[in-house]
Amino acid sequence: EDILHASSELKGKHVLVSAGPTQEAMDPVRFISNHSSGKMGYAIARAAANMGAEVTLVSGPVSLSTPYGVNKISITSANEMSQAIKEHMEEADFIIKAAAVGDYRVEHISNEKIKKQGDILELTLHKNEDILAYIGAHKKPEQVLCGFAMETENLLENAEEKRKKKNCDMIVANNLKTEGAGFQGDTNVAVLLQENGKEELGLMSKYELGKTILLRMLEIQANRKGT
């Protein structure tokens, strides 16, 4: 599956993928982050490259090697991810936001290491821009947008609400508590939500899920052209 351009479904298409966690600095030695491994986003990027696409991958800090033929842009914070996505969204045909973006950043990043003091340390956090919602509000009609929804309860309700609110063509919903799903492993169990219905996918590799997502996005684009 690693042969470059093993197939050509996405030949001539530009795919923009975000992956991994973001890190929000507190001081020069500490940050707030999450458990995202980047595996899902990297699998999508690899699948897209193998299907013949030109791929840009905006990645938070992960310990994965860049898939062959993929143009990777490394970022650290949610603000940096936002900037990189905005710089590259113009030329993208398909945009897939698999990253686990930090919802909040530390208001004042200390220039010096924060010293241990009293028993309680309070940090004020500020909400980060919602990158997916920004793309949803600004995308061109021919661009196809796919977001993710990572939930621990009320999966379908919460995911559908995100799809609508962020104007996504498709949302990949997964429950962190499902066996075989989640951040660390090489498999996932997901439900694909579109305006006209849902597709429940069983346990599969993140690579296979990536391919399925890309094929559905192709269908969405084809249907749109047909109307």
List the catalytic residues.
34
Task: Choose which of 42, 94, 148, 207 interacts with ligand CTP (CB under 6 A).
Answer: 148
In the complex, what is the shortest distance from the CB of residue 84 to ligand CTP, in angstroms, rounded to a whole number?
12
CB nearest Ca ion: which residue?
Answer: 103
- Closer to ligand CTP at the Cβ: 97 or 211? 97
Residue span 60-89 as binding mask against ligand CTP, x where in contact by CB under 6 A, dash where not: ------------------x-----------
162 binds ligand CTP (CB under 6 A): yes
In the complex, what is the shortest distance from the CB of residue 47 to Ca ion, in angstroms, rounded to a whole number?
24
128 binds ligand CTP (CB under 6 A): yes
Rounded Cα–Cα distance for residues 173 and 183 (Å): 13
Residue 130 annotated in ligand binding: no
Rounded Cα–Cα distance for residues 219 and 224 (Å): 8
Q: Which of 35, 49, 56 is nearest to 185 (CA)?
A: 35
Rounded Cα–Cα distance for residues 145 and 147 (Å): 7
Rounded Cα–Cα distance for residues 186 and 82 (Å): 27
Residue 148 annotated in ligand binding: yes
Query: 153 vs 170, 171, 177, 200, 218, CA distance in Å?
Result: 20, 16, 9, 17, 30
Rounded Cα–Cα distance for residues 103 and 84 (Å): 17
Rounded Cα–Cα distance for residues 31 and 27 (Å): 7
Tell me, by CB under 5 A, how many residues bind Ca ion: 1
103 binds Ca ion (CB under 5 A): yes
99 binds ligand CTP (CB under 6 A): yes
Rounded Cα–Cα distance for residues 70 and 72 (Å): 6
In the complex, what is the shortest distance from the CB of residue 149 to ligand CTP, in angstroms, rounded to a whole number?
5
Write out the residues near ligand CTP by the rule CB under 6 A: 78, 97, 99, 101, 103, 128-132, 147-150, 162
Write out the residues near Ca ion by the rule CB under 5 A: 103
